[in-house]
Amino acid sequence: MKPIGIFYGSSTGNTKKIAENIKANLQPGLVDIYDVKYVKASDIERYDNIILGSSTWGEGVLQADFERFLYDILKFADLKGKKIAIFGTGDSAIYPESFADSMGIIFEALEGRGATFVGEFPTQGYKSVSSLSIFGEKFIGLPLDDDSDEEQNKLRISIWTDLLKIDLN
């Protein structure tokens, strides 16, 4: 597997913790983690395999650092030929209509930029019925809920990273 860069934005530490768990489930020696608060376009362009992670705040708002990163840095990075996987965190109990919308926002901002998106995840087993991150019967990436459904996270991360080990080769 080629090296992987994980780029996350986290206000409370939940998304950072998820990024670290994803790294531990992949090949840790091949994975670097970056807080998007400190990232330049050249950091992203070093990787052919990229994992992006952001929380969703309230009713469909990106985490503040990730929003700046997405529109001021990532939107202008050369993504041609790159493989991108997305994970998102949110609260499916309080915000079921916008749970993990961050993934859909990220996908829509980067779609058509020459990257291949990998890591779709089935919607079965989630409380959310409506989200910008759902395309057909799947989420565009891995949605996780550290507030209302935390007991499922470990299994979902394990399943998703097993899929990524195939998709990111």
Q: Is the pLDDT of residue 132 over 90?
A: no
Q: How many structural domains compose the chain?
A: 1
Higher local confidence (pLDDT), 53 or 137: 53
Is this structure's pTM higher than 0.85? yes
Closest CA to 11 of 41, 40, 35: 35
Q: Report the alpha-carbon distance of residue 43 to residue 120 in Å, rounded.
A: 25
Helix/strand/coil percentages in the chain, nearest 5: 40, 25, 40
* pLDDT-based confidence at residue 145 (cuts at 50, 70, 90): confident
Q: Report the alpha-carbon distance of residue 63 to residue 154 in Å, rounded.
A: 22
Residue 107 has which token pair?
Answer: 């996908």
4-15 average pLDDT score:
92
Q: Is the pLDDT of residue 9 over 90?
A: yes
Q: Report the alpha-carbon distance of residue 57 to residue 95 in Å, rounded.
A: 9
Q: What is the pLDDT of residues 15-40, one digit of tens each?
A: 999 999 999 999 879 999 999 999 99
CA distances from 131 to 50, 67, 136 (A): 23, 18, 11
**Do 3 and 32 touch, CB atoms closer than 8 A?**
yes
pLDDT for 28 equals 78
Q: Report the alpha-carbon distance of residue 103 to residue 88 in Å, rounded.
A: 6
Q: Report the alpha-carbon distance of residue 137 to residue 14 in Å, rounded.
A: 26
CATH number at residue 154: 3.40.50.360
Domain that holds residue 12: 4-167
| Residue 145, SS3 per DSSP | coil
**Do 124 and 90 touch, CB atoms closer than 8 A?**
no
Q: Which residue has the tokens 């949110």?
A: 90
Q: Report the alpha-carbon distance of residue 84 to residue 113 in Å, rounded.
A: 11
Higher local confidence (pLDDT), 57 or 136: 136
